[in-house]
Homo-oligomer: A and B are copies of this chain.
Amino acid sequence: MMLSRASKYAILSTLYLAEHANENRKISVKVIAESIDVPSPFLAKLFQQLVKGKIISSTKGPNGGFYLTKKNQKKSVLDIIENIDGLIKINECFLGLNECDGSNPCPVHFIVERFKNSIFEKFRDKNIMELSEEIVANGRKLTLKDISPEV
C-alpha cells in the first residue's frame, strides 16, 4: 500500500510532461530532472521504461525529448504505478498479512479499503491529462524542491 520512490518520480515527471510538453515541444530528461528535483540518470532509466510501456513518448536527437501523445494522455496514474512497481504492492495488506479480505480482515482492513477506493478514483478513473488539468486549475506545483517563498 505504498509507492516506491521510482513510482513517485515517474508520476511527478509524467504530470510535468502533461503540463509542459507536447508533440511540438519535447522536453529533455535533464530539464525535467532539474525542474522537479530528481536525480537525472535515474529518471532517464524510468523514462526508458515508461516509453516501453507506452505511457510516454520520446524522440532522439536535437530538439528531441519526451512528451505525451493524445493516446498517452489517456493513460492513468495507475498505469504508471503498474508499469514501475507492479500492482501487487499497492494491493497488499497494510499489516502484511497473507490473507486479509472482507471476510478475514486485519484490524485496519476496512479503513485501508476505503482509502484505496478514494485513491483509485483519482489514479485509475481519471486520466493523466484530466488529473494534470485539475492540478493546474488548483495552482499546485508538483516538485520535490523546497518551494521557498519569493522575497
Which residues of A are in contact with B by a Cβ distance under 8 Å? 1-3, 5, 8-9, 11-12, 94-99, 104-108, 111-112, 114-115, 118-119, 122-123, 131, 134-135, 140, 142-147
- Minimum CB–CB distance from A137 to chain B (whole Å) comes to 11
Closest to A99 in B: B147
Top 3 nearest A-B pairs (CB, nearest first) are A2-B2, A115-B115, A8-B96
> Contacts A111-B115, A115-B111; is A98 near B2 (CB within 8 Å)?
no
The answer, among B95, B99, B106, B131, for a CB contact under 8 Å with A107, is B131
Q: What is the CB-to-nearest-CB distance from A60 to chain B, in angstroms, rounded to a whole number?
A: 29
**Cβ-defined partner of A134 (8 Å) among B1, B107, B122, B135:** B107
Q: A139 to chain B: closest CB distance in Å?
A: 10
A119-B108, A131-B107 given as contacts; is B143 within 8 A of A97 (CB)?
A: yes
A118 and B107 contacting across the interface, CB-CB below 8 Å: no
Inter-chain contact B95/A140, CB cutoff 8 Å: no
| Smallest Cβ-Cβ distance to A116: which chain B residue | B115
Q: Identify 8 residue pairs between A and B in the complex whose beta-carbon atoms are under 8 Å apart, listed by A's number.
A: A3-B94, A8-B95, A11-B95, A12-B96, A97-B142, A108-B122, A108-B123, A111-B115
